[in-house]
């Protein structure tokens, strides 16, 4: 028997499910339409920070272009599974609240 689904849980579930699509679109627009660097470290010190290229690497990883993702920033192969695990854990927790 299902617990009564409150609006707050439903809204949170919808947001979490839509989050990867919104992130992909945001990254797509950042890469293709923003010409200036958005990294404060790079703007101030004119050198790459440890996170430079992570957005482009994420974008390439979403497009399943693993070699190009590695070229932009190899740390994406550590960060992406962690983010994916957190994402799945949140969905499971919300589904447990629903059922």
The mean per-residue pLDDT over the stretch 45-63 comes to 85
Reading the block at residue 59, the tokens are 């974008």
The residue ranges of every structural domain in the chain are 7-98
| pLDDT above 90 (res 74) | yes
pLDDT confidence tier of residue 81, bands split at 50, 70 and 90: very high
The burial of 96, by beta-carbon neighbours within 10 Å (0-12 exposed, 13-18 middle, 19 or more buried), is given as: exposed
pLDDT of 82 above 90: yes
> Can you state the angle between helices 76-98 and 54-62, rounded to 10 degrees?
60
Task: Give the separation between CA 95 and CA 99, rounded to whole angstroms.
Answer: 6
The number of beta carbons lying within 10 Å of the beta carbon of residue 61 is 19
Condensed to tens digits (0 to 9), the pLDDT of residues 4-22 reads 567 777 788 888 888 888 8
Residue 89 burial class via C-beta count within 10 angstroms: exposed 0-12, middle 13-18, buried 19 and up: exposed
Assess whether pLDDT exceeds 90 at residue 36. Answer: no
């Amino acid at each position: 028997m299902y617990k009564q689904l409150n609006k707050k849980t439903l809204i949170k579930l919808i947001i979490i499910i839509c989050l990867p699509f919104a992130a992909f679109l945001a990254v797509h627009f950042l890469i293709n339409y923003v010409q200036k660097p958005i990294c404060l470290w790079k703007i101030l010190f004119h050198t790459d920070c440890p996170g430079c290229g992570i957005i482009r690497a994420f974008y390439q990883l979403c497009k399943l272009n693993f070699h190009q993702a590695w070229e932009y920033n190899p740390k994406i192969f550590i960060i992406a599974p962690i983010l994916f695990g957190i994402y799945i854990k949140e969905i499971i927790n919300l589904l447990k609240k629903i059922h």
